Amino acid sequence: MSPRLPAESKRTVLITGVCGGVGRVLLRYLLEHTRHPIVGLDKRNWVLDRPDRFDFRRVDLRRGTAEDVIRTVKPWAVVHLAFVSDQSVGRDRRHEINVQGTQRILSWCLRYGVRKVVVLSRASVYGARPDNPSQITEDMPLRLGAAYSELNDLVEFDHLCRSWMWEHRGVEMVLLRPVNIVGPNIREGMLYRFLQGNPVLTALGFDPMMQLVHEEDVIQAIRLGLRPEARGIYNVVGAGALPLSALLRALGRRRVPVPHPLLRLADGMAFSVGLSKLPAHAIDFLRFGCVVDGQRIRDDLGYACAYDLHQTIAAVPMDAAIVE
């Protein structure tokens, strides 16, 4: 049985970043399975196929017009999905969106009486390192930005949400850290960008374990987070893990192993001229594992992924799973 949101039909749910893949899937679920008024915010425009019973506002979270929406709508819950992980976006702009934009959203939530906040972070904030434990729990330090200053905003975003959650106990916050999200609506994220290569370059002598989670399972985690009294930090995992080589075989991709120093050098040069979308830190995820533990969300919220590993791999968009 799908977890239910509060019974009151007039409890408005506001979604930031609603034009993204996860935002669109979440919106579809809420419109189909609840009677809650839904308000969506995004800097991008939603031109075609905009659903009925959906109040879309094209606003920039860095501007005062976004505050005006929250002030007038007074949502019961905010699902914050407006997060930029694309490293081709400049560091200053990424920090302004991810950190300063999130600070504004959280301050407005407090100011205008929002009772529930669900925030989507990334499991990659733990970092891929040779000394990682076999299973990373939510209590482990976030080490993604330790060696890469350009990633500090991603870790700062997560730390900001965690600190705010403990400081403002009157607002229920759920901070989710999903592994690589895949699905027919997901065309973003580090794994998706990695699969754009043809052939796929991998690090010679390394075969790290990879975790995937289906977009619908991420929506389930968000739905569980929206339940009254749910609060805390949760990793969101799919059904198991598999070596990178096995994932590429399952997707029908040809791989070319390259010594990792050369791979880092070649990718860095390609990234600097816009021919690669993989930043320097992504090479570490091709060498070392970052396998997270999902027991806490199962125990606390009753999460159970609906898609097995085969179904999850099959959900990778075809433009990222070209069969040779």
Q: Give the model's pLDDT for residue 273.
A: 60
Neighbouring C-beta atoms of residue 171, cutoff 10 Å? 18
Residue 227 has pLDDT above 80, yes or no: yes
Q: What does the domain layout of the chain look like in residue ranges? A: 13-320
pLDDT, tens digit (0-9, with 9 covering 90-100), for 41-61: 999 998 778 888 899 999 988
Confidence of residue 321 (pLDDT cuts 50, 70, 90): low
Q: Which residue has the higher pLDDT, 324 or 270?
A: 270
What kind of architecture, by CATH, is found in domain 13-320? 3-Layer(aba) Sandwich (3.40)
Per-residue tokens: 200:
């796929």
H or E, element range at 157: helix 152-167
Does the pLDDT at position 280 exceed 80?
no
Residue 198's pLDDT is 74
The percent of residues in the chain predicted with pLDDT above 90, rounded, is 63
Q: For residue 157, is pLDDT > 60?
A: yes
State pLDDT tens for residues 236-259. 999 999 999 999 999 999 999 999
Lowest mean pLDDT: which of 8-17, 72-81, 110-119, 125-134? 8-17
| pLDDT of 324 | 38
Identify the CA nearest to 176 among candidates 125, 109, 211, 128.
Answer: 125
pLDDT at 283: 86
Q: What tens digit of pLDDT does each residue of 88-125 get? A: 567 777 888 889 999 999 999 999 999 999 999 999 99
Q: What pLDDT is attached to residue 84?
A: 76
CB 221 within 8 A of CB 176: yes
pTM (predicted TM-score):
0.92
- Among 44-53, 159-168, 299-308, name the one with the lowest average pLDDT: 44-53
Kindly state the tokens that stand for 115. Answer: 């009772």
209-214 and 241-243 beta bridge pairing: antiparallel
User: What pLDDT, on a 0 to 100 scale, did the predictor assign at position 1?
Assistant: 44
Q: What is the mean pLDDT of residues 272-291?
A: 77
Mean pLDDT of 16-45: 94
- Look at residue 138 in the predicted model and tell me its pLDDT: 97
Given this model, what pLDDT does residue 64 score? 79
pLDDT higher than threshold 50 for residue 323: no
> What mean pLDDT, rounded, does the chain reach?
88
pLDDT value of position 137 = 97
Answer yes or no: are the C-beta atoms of 81 and 23 closer than 8 Å.
Answer: yes
Cβ-count burial 40-74 (b if 16+ within 10 Å, e if not): bbbbeebeeeeeeebebbebebeeeebbebbeebe
